[in-house]
C-alpha cells in the first residue's frame, strides 16, 4: 500500500509508521477530524479470501475518501486506523475464518487522515459450500457506544505496547 502523503491530508496530522500483519509497512498521517456516518445509509463492500476489495458501494467510496479505482484490488486494511487495537482484528479474523459472522464497532481511517466510526458486520460469502470471500456491511453506530469504546480501545492499544 502507498504511504499517505501530506498533500492528501486535511488539517494538522501526526505521523505513524504502521506495520501490517504481513510485515509490510505504511506511513500513516492521522488527524482528529471525524466524518459522521450518513444517516439511513449502509456502507457495503466485498473482499476475496485474501482480504482484497472486490466491490464497494457509493457510500463506501464517499466515506473512505478514496476513488473506486483506488479501492478495488487493494487490501481492506487500507482503512485500518492506528487507534484500533490489533486484538479486535485478530478476533474478527479468527471468527470469520471459522465461517462465522463477526460484528463490532470500528474506527476507520480515511484517505485524508480523518476517521469515521461504524458498526460493522462481516459475513462469509459462500458459493457451493466454499467460502470465496466476505461481505461487510457497516451501519450507523450508537454514539453512546462509540464514546464508551474510545477509552476501551485506548486501553487495549496501550496494553499492546502502543
- Determine, following the binding rule CB under 8 A, whether residue 123 of this chain makes contact with another protein: yes
Name, in order, each residue with C-beta under 8 angstroms of 108's C-beta and a sequence gap of 6 or more: 63, 64, 79, 80, 81, 115, 116, 117, 118
Name, in order, each residue with C-beta under 8 angstroms of 98's C-beta and a sequence gap of 6 or more: none
In angstroms, rounded to a whole number, what is the distance separating the alpha carbons of residues 141 and 42? 11
Min dist CB 56 to another protein, Å, is 12
State which of residues 94, 98, 142, 155 lies at the interface with another protein (CB under 8 A): 142
- Determine, following the binding rule CB under 8 A, whether residue 145 of this chain makes contact with another protein: yes
> Which has the closest alpha carbon to 89: 74, 102, 72?
102
Cell numbers for 22: 504481513
- Determine, following the binding rule CB under 8 A, whether residue 100 of this chain makes contact with another protein: no
Closest to another protein by CB, 44 or 49: 44
Closest to another protein by CB, 114 or 124: 124
- Determine, following the binding rule CB under 8 A, whether residue 99 of this chain makes contact with another protein: no
Binding mask 22-51 for another protein (x = CB under 8 A): ---------------xxxxxx-x-x-----
23: buried, middle or exposed (CB in 10 Å: 19+, 13-18, 0-12)?
A: exposed
State which of residues 7, 22, 50, 127 lies at the interface with another protein (CB under 8 A): 127
In angstroms, rounded to a whole number, what is the distance separating the alpha carbons of residues 132 and 52? 12
List contacts with another protein (CB under 8 A).
37-42, 44, 46, 55, 57-58, 101, 119, 121-123, 125, 127, 135-137, 139-145
Amino acid at each position: 500500500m502507498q504511504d499517505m502523503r501530506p498533500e492528501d491530508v486535511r488539517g494538522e496530522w501526526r505521523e505513524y509508521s504502521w506495520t501490517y500483519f504481513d510485515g509490510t509497512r505504511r506511513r500513516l498521517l492521522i488527524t482528529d477530524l471525524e466524518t459522521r456516518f450518513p444517516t439511513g445509509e449502509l456502507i457495503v463492500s466485498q473482499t476475496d479470501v485474501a482480504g482484497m476489495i472486490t466491490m464497494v458501494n457509493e457510500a463506501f467510496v464517499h466515506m473512505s475518501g478514496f476513488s473506486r479505482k483506488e479501492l478495488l484490488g487493494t487490501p481492506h486494511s487500507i482503512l485500518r486506523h492506528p487507534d484500533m487495537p490489533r486484538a479486535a482484528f485478530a478476533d474478527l479474523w479468527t471468527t470469520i475464518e471459522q465461517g462465522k459472522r463477526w460484528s463490532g464497532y470500528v474506527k476507520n481511517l480515511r484517505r485524508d487522515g480523518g476517521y469515521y466510526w461504524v458498526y460493522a458486520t462481516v459475513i462469509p460469502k459462500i458459493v457451493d459450500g466454499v467460502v470465496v470471500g466476505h461481505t461487510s456491511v457497516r451501519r450507523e453506530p450508537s454514539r453512546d457506544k462509540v464514546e464508551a469504546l474510545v477509552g476501551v480501545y485506548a486501553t487495549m492499544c496501550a496494553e499492546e505496547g502502543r
